[in-house]
Amino acid sequence: MKVYWREHRTGQRLILDLDTGQQEEVGGVRQTPRGFDALAKTTGYDPGRAQKGFPTLEDAKAFVEAFHPWDIFAGSTEVEFDETVHPMPEES
């Protein structure tokens, strides 16, 4: 399994690529006029996993990564973190 950031029209999404070929979006950041908003996915209601107004994209991404949101799907399985930001997938 691996985790990587992928470009999105409003920012970037954190993707968990499972060994089965399935992909899960486990977090994201988006740019707004007031800075960057960040969200790390969770299984329940946890408002602490979302925050608005980060000054930089890197700060927002670090916030999301700190929660290890991929653990929801991966459990104790080792996950490789790919530092490369992948391009947006082609729409068909």
Q: pLDDT digit of tens for each residue in the chain (92 aa)? A: 999 999 999 999 999 998 888 999 999 999 999 999 999 999 888 889 999 999 999 999 999 999 999 998 877 788 999 999 999 987 65
Do strands 80-86 and 2-8 pair parallel, antiparallel, or not at all (unpaired)? parallel
Residue 74's pLDDT is what?
Answer: 78
Residue 14 in tokens: 């954190």
11 and 29 Cβ atoms separated by less than 8 Å:
yes
What is the spatial distance between Cα 25 and Cα 30, in angstroms, rounded to a whole number? 14
Q: Tell me which residue of 22, 9, 26 sits closest to 61, measured CA to CA.
A: 26
Kindly report the pTM of this predicted structure: 0.91
Spell out the residues 6+ positions from residue 7 whose beta carbon is closer than 8 angstroms to its own.
85, 86, 87, 88
